[in-house]
Structure 1
Amino acid sequence: MTTWLPLMLESLPSLLWAGLTFTIPLTLLSFIFGLILGLVTAVARLFGPAPVAWIARFYVWVIRGTPLLVQLFVIFYGLPSAGILLDAFTAALIGFSLNVGAYTSEIIRAVISSVPRGQWEAAYSIGMSWSQAMRRTILPQAARVAVPPLSNTFISLVKDTSLAAAITVPEMFQTAQRIVATTYEPLILYIETALIYLAMSSVLSALQVRLERRFARYGGFLEART
């Protein structure tokens, strides 16, 4: 048996545990908070008063125009100079949530805008308020269109969480770095980590296909009713 296989088998539990306790929670929480922030930002840009819409546009402009790694460094290493101390996981969660929020807001804004104006008018004609029309008519239709790009954002986020290693979050990639520091086998450990990320992305991609098919059937059902 070659030396690389025992090393990979020995390090696998540590890498998987880091993924389970840090990578996956960081991904899920960041996506949930980011999606909520993205929805609020998109609605503010589409329907909010001018000052609110300007603030939302400024936020999206700043986040999309700067590297994610720089944003993480500003939050974790920069804010303490202003008296704001955050632990590594919290800083990463804030950074990823802000980043996801900016990108998903553009997706949500686009899919809401793609819903025909007649859908709004139909909802208003049967006595719905703006919030009811948004919740019951517009968002269900927009969600079907948003599934592919939002799914891609989630899959990208899984891989982007490896950047949290730069601010000392002990997620999967930093765990690999720590093992490398003691084994001096960077090629083997980094390939193993990459394979784990690849497996996670492949599973998520398969789930994305199934979700898209399900929404496609739901969309066909709605079209048949109309």
Structure 2
Amino acid sequence: MELDFSVLIPYMHMFWKGVCVTIQASFLGVLFGSALGIFIGSFRVMPFKPLRYLMATYIYVLRGTPLMIQLFLIYFGLPALGVNLDAATAGILGIGINSSGYVGEIVRGGIEGVPKGQWEAAKMLGLSYWQTMKSIILPQAIRHMLPAIGNEFVTLIKESSLLSVLAISDLTMVGQQVRSVTYASFETFIFVALVYLVLTSVTSGALQLLENRWKVK
């Protein structure tokens, strides 16, 4: 069997649009997931035990259930409660919430990695829990968390392929559409896989440069 990638050339504009959708959804998803994850991780180390257990349960459920099911619950389940979201919003919300579970654990680990003496010094200065967290702990912890959060972004780019189940025209959905027209299954999905590889490689390289710049001496 000979592979003929030339059959894909007329559809390059579709692939480009799919790439743009994938990048946008991944970026917004990790942005929302990171912001939410920082709060979740901060709550995980609070002295108030009920809140800690609640956040631990939140993370446990998100990490223990498939992203596809979470997307279905948001897009197909919420309308039963009177909440109707378009596919793009539901998709970004879904991958963002899913990501927050992983980021929350990353944040918890980063916060717990800050020496306890920092907490004690802040307490002696009369700072509240949230003042200490905002001004002293998180700035130090984030530098240590950056590699793990970067890996989460790379993972999210790949997991964003599940957005195709909501009929969102991301890279994977475009690949399915092109395959249905050209019947070139191998060529189409090899090309799609290579595009994902390029996206994750470029992202990993950019994050490595950022990590080196912020590297803790």
Structure 1 residue 3 displacement after superposition: 7.5
Partner of 2:83: 84
- Structure 1, 103-112 or 87-96: larger mean CA deviation: 87-96
Indicate yes or no: 2:210 matched with 1:215. no
Partner of 1:42: 41
Matches within 5 A, 1:69-80: 69-80=68-79
Unaligned segments of structure 2, at least 5 residues: none
TM-score (norm 2): 0.92
Whether contact under 8 Å (2:164, 2:170) holds in the other structure is yes
Matches within 5 A, 1:19-58: 19-20=19-20, 22-47=21-46, 49-58=48-57
TM-score (norm 1): 0.89
- Structure 1, 75-84 or 184-193: larger mean CA deviation: 75-84
Matches within 5 A, 1:188-203: 188-203=187-202
Indicate yes or no: 2:4 matched with 1:4. yes
Inter-partner Cα distance in structure 2 for 1:27 and 1:112 = 25
CA RMSD of aligned residues (A): 1.8
Structure 1 residue 127 displacement after superposition: 4.8
Partner of 1:161: 160
- Match for 1:60: what amino acid? I
Structure 1 residue 154 displacement after superposition: 0.2
How many percent identity over aligned positions?
35
Structure 1 residue 209 displacement after superposition: 1.6
Q: Aligned residue pairs: how many? A: 216
Inter-partner Cα distance in structure 1 for 2:39 and 2:72 = 25
Name the SS of the counterpart of 2:85 in structure 1: coil
- Match for 1:18: what amino acid? G
Higher RCO structure (Cα 8 Å, ≥6 apart): 2
Residue-by-residue CA offset, 1:157-209 (whole Å, 9 max, x unaligned) = 01110000011111111011111111111111111111111001111111122
Unaligned segments of structure 1, at least 5 residues: 221-226
Inter-partner Cα distance in structure 1 for 2:83 and 2:28 = 21
Indicate yes or no: 2:174 matched with 1:175. yes
Inter-partner Cα distance in structure 1 for 2:180 and 2:197 = 23
Inter-partner Cα distance in structure 1 for 2:185 and 2:193 = 12
Inter-partner Cα distance in structure 1 for 2:119 and 2:157 = 36
